Structure 1
Amino acid sequence: MISIGAVYHGPELEVSEVNRSLMEASKALRGFRGGLEAIDTPWVNAVFVVSGSLAHVDFDGLEYGDCSRANKGVVVKVAMSRKIIDGGEFFAFIINSLRGANAMAFEFFRQKGQEFPLRSAEDLVTRTEAKILAG
C-alpha cells in the first residue's frame, strides 16, 4: 500500500497552496485505502520534503528513506524544490511522484524477496488522481 507524508522547511508552508494540495491528495488516498493499522503487506510512505524559508531540499527527485515496522515499510523521499513550488503544477507532480514511489517500493521489496502490491498501490493513485481532477 501507499501513504503520503510531508516535511515542511518553513512555517509559511503550513498555510500554503502546496500544503493544501498535499493534504487533499492524502485525504483522497486515505479515503480509498483506509487506515494503515491493519495492513500486513509491504507498504511505502511517500514523504514530500518541501523547500521553504528555513532550508532547501538537499537532493533531487526521489530517494529512499528509512525502513520501518519490521521491514514491512519503506520511505521514499520526494524533493519539492523552489522551482516546483513556484511552478504551481502541484497535482501532476504529486501524482507522478506517487507513481515513482510505488515503482521504487516494488524494486526495494523485490530485492528483499518480498512482494509489494504494486497493482493495488497504482490503483489507489489512479483513483486519487481521478477524484482530484473531478473536484
Structure 2
Amino acid sequence: MSLGLPDRILLALGALAGLLGVAASAAAAHIQGADSLKTAAQFLLFHAPAVIGLVALTGTGATHRLLTRVAASALVLGLALFSGDLSLRALHGIPLFPMAAPTGGFLLMGGWLLTAVAALIPVRR
C-alpha cells in the first residue's frame, strides 16, 4: 500500500526530528552546561524512529490508521514544543512560550497513549 500525503509529511517530520537530534547532540558537545540541549536531542532521537515506525504501521494496516496518524502527529507536535523550548532556552536563553515544554511533554505522553490504543483497536478488513 502506498503512503498518502499526510503519511509522507509525518515521515518527513520524523526524519527531520532525527536530523535535529543529531545536530543538537553535536551542538551540546561543544557548549558548556548544555544539559537541557542534551535532553532535547535525546527526545528528538528517541522519538524520530517512533514516528517513522508509526507511519510504517499506517501503511501496513496493522493498526487503526487514523488513530495511528493522530498518535504520530501528537509525537511530532510534542517534540516541537518540548525540544524546541529546551533548545531555545539553552541556545538563546529565551522560552518558546510559557509552558511550552510541559505542554509538549503532555502531548508526547498522549501520543504514546494513543499508540497503545491504536494497537488495541481491531482493524476492519
TM-score grouping bracket, smaller chain normalisation: 0.3 to 0.5
Structure with the larger RCO, 1 or 2 (CA within 8 Å, 6+ apart): 1
Bigger radius of gyration, 1 or 2?
Answer: 2
Query: Which has the larger share of strand?
Result: 1
